[in-house]
Amino acid sequence: MALDFRRLWQQATPFHEFVRDAAANRELWASMERIAQIPEWAIAAVRTSGEKFNFLVIAEDWCGDGTSTIPYLAKLATITRCIEVRVLRRDEHPEAMDRYLTDGARAIPIVIVLNRHLEELGHWGPRPADLQEWVRGERAKTGMKPPYPQIRRWYARDKGIATLREVLELFAKKPSAVSPQPLAVSAMTG
């Protein structure tokens, strides 16, 4: 069954309200957006497209991967004024989350890139591809999740670059070319 993105968009919370109302990690969400540095190439890519985009994010405020990625997208939106970011809480919207399962798991965050008509161009998540590959490798070797401090260090070194690059690649897609297929990545849930 197709998702009604108009209805979901209306139900979603604007990013800054999501942060304001966060029960967990409120200061981390806010401080990550404050310190985020957005490279000129990312700003130019959005502005030169001449389009308006909407990022419908499936997340929860406790999600460490969310605090390490979504604030960069929110900062890009603030700078360019060509993007709006809204958040759907994963646990309140199982019909949306279940369309974007990661190896059968409800891994977050998921960013659904929509055009100005709220048509899906593609989706991203729950982590940048290189980090996700490393996590899968570590899990295959040990049978356990890698320690989150190592994941946080990866995010700190990357400074949002991989997330920005991967999400912005979705801008070039056409709505008719999108097929809702789960991502073939690890089942780690944020």
Concatenating the DSSP letter of every residue in the chain gives ----HHHHHHHSEEHHHHHHT-SSSHHHHHHHHHH----HHHHHHHHHHT--EEEEEEE-TT-HHHHHHHHHHHHHHHHHSSEEEEEEEGGG-HHHHGGG-BTTB--S-EEEEE-TT--EEEEE-SS-HHHHHHHHHHHHHHSSPPPHHHHHHHHHHHTTHHHHHHHHGGGG--GGG-----B-S-----
Identify the pLDDT of residue 172: 79
Whole-angstrom CA distances from 56 to 34, 70, 102, 147 are 21, 11, 17, 29
**Under a CB-based contact definition with an 8 Å cutoff, are residues 137 and 186 in contact?**
no
| Four-residue CA torsion sign, 141, 142, 143, 149 | negative
Residue-wise pLDDT for 28-51, tens only, equals 999 999 999 999 999 999 999 899
Query: How high is the pLDDT of residue 178?
Result: 45
Tokens coding 119? 């048509």
Q: Tens digit of pLDDT for each residue in 142-158?
A: 887 777 889 999 999 99
Spans of the chain below 70 pLDDT:
1, 176-190
| pLDDT value of residue 1 | 66
Entry pTM:
0.89
Distance of alpha carbon 71 from alpha carbon 113, whole angstroms:
15
Domains and CATH numbers, the chain: 5-126+160-172 (3.40.30.10)
